[in-house]
Amino acid sequence: MYTFEIVDMNDVNVEEYYGFERKSPFTTIPWLKYLVEDNAGEPLILRISKGENLIGYFTGVKIKRFGVNILGSPFKGWATGYMGYDLYDYGLVKELLTPTIDFIFKNSPCKHIEIMDRHLLPEDIEGLKYDMEVFTTVEIPIYRTDEEFFENITGKCRQLIRQFERRGAMIEKAEPNDELAREIHDQLCEVFAKQNLVPTFSLDKINNLFNNLKDTGMLHCYVVKEPGGTIISSIVFVGMGKKMFCWCTESRREHLNYRPNEYMIWHCLREFRDMGYEMFDYAGAAEYKYKWNPIEVSYVRVMASKHPVLLAGRNMAQAAYWKLLKLRGVMRRC
């Protein structure tokens, strides 16, 4: 039988909590602080043991929406990758799922729980009693030589990289400060405006991330400048261990002739390789990401509600949120 212990974020044994080979940025203390501040939430850290043996940890954040207490690990809209479990044996995720959910329902006021774990795969869902969604992303191995890297991408992508190099733009590391946050948000407004939407990232969210992660070594920001020195594109990554994740990327439409988007990835992935990273998660599977010939990976978001009406309400709220973004986009209220 597994034992679950609620651990205060300020009292957690950091050495033990971080002592897992596949620990991601999204279950670290700085990321939890970002989520708590951004969502007016409360962290939930569960220490899981069996007898005298530590099995691992579960991490999430409790929030309250429309009077309903919710546990997200993570919740949609948090600009956060998978959370769930940090374990010595990731084969236990499916086995731990039901006792974890039962413990949270019993020991907290939460009425709805969402968990997305990298190690809960579509083939694992048979026999589970919960509602589920499959999330697909693409990952790029970056432990390659430059020659191997270049040969593996599409011919069109190679052409765009060469065009960037000929046209005189430059890429450089950027400090995660208020000025960069404003620039990123302005670019996001322009990107989303093409679809008559407004960004899902607010300026406060970007600043919140910067403030909580800027001194951790996990946050990496880059900008591209045209020959005159004007910033035309930017990208933000977060990384830990052997894996790097894309957090956001955006560009100025009028300067796309410099081909900044492809070169940013090409430059940064090689730099991360030299820093010791081995895998890049592109945070989703949009069509334009396949030019890198990535590996497609799918895992599962599990949704558990004490009352069926809560899941229906959650889906209605999600649909209403996207309609609101569309309306604000039409009205250009970024």
**What's the pLDDT at 174?**
98
Q: 245 and 311 share a domain?
A: no
Instruction: Please report the pLDDT score of residue 312 as a whole number.
Output: 60
Report the candidate in 87, 31, 86 with the shortest Cα–Cα distance to residue 61. Answer: 31
Which DSSP category does 38 fall into?
A: H
Whether the pLDDT of residue 318 is over 90: the answer is no
Same structural domain, 48 and 170: no
Residue 51 placed within a domain: yes
What's the rounded mean pLDDT across residues 317-329? Answer: 54
Same domain for 151 and 238, yes or no, is yes
Rounded Cα–Cα distance for residues 160 and 164 (Å): 6
* Cβ pair 142, 280 in contact under 8 A: yes
What does the pLDDT read at residue 194? 78
Does an H or E element contain 330, and which?
Answer: helix 308-330
pLDDT score for 317: 56
Give yes or no for a contact between 114 and 75, defined as CB atoms under 8 angstroms apart.
yes
Q: For 224-242, how does the pLDDT look when each residue is reduced to its tens digit (9 = 90+)?
A: 999 999 999 999 999 999 9
3-state secondary structure of 11: coil
Measured between alpha carbons, how far is 215 from 30 in angstroms, rounded to an integer? 10
Helix (H) or strand (E) holding 26: none
Res 67 pLDDT > 60: yes
The residue range of the domain holding 51 is 2-120+302-331
- 49 in Cβ contact with 56 (< 8 Å): no
**pLDDT 10s digits, 16-59:** 999 999 999 999 999 999 999 999 999 999 999 999 999 999 99
Q: Decide: residue 91, CB within 10 A, 0-12 exposed, 13-18 middle, 19+ buried.
A: exposed
Q: What is the CATH number of the domain that holds 208?
A: 3.40.630.30
Q: What's this model's pTM, rounded to 2 decimal places?
A: 0.92
Q: Which amino acid is at 274?
A: D
Query: Is residue 201 very low, low, confident or very high in pLDDT (cuts 50, 70, 90)?
Result: confident
Please tell me the predicted confidence (pLDDT) of residue 252.
94
126 occurs within a structural domain: no
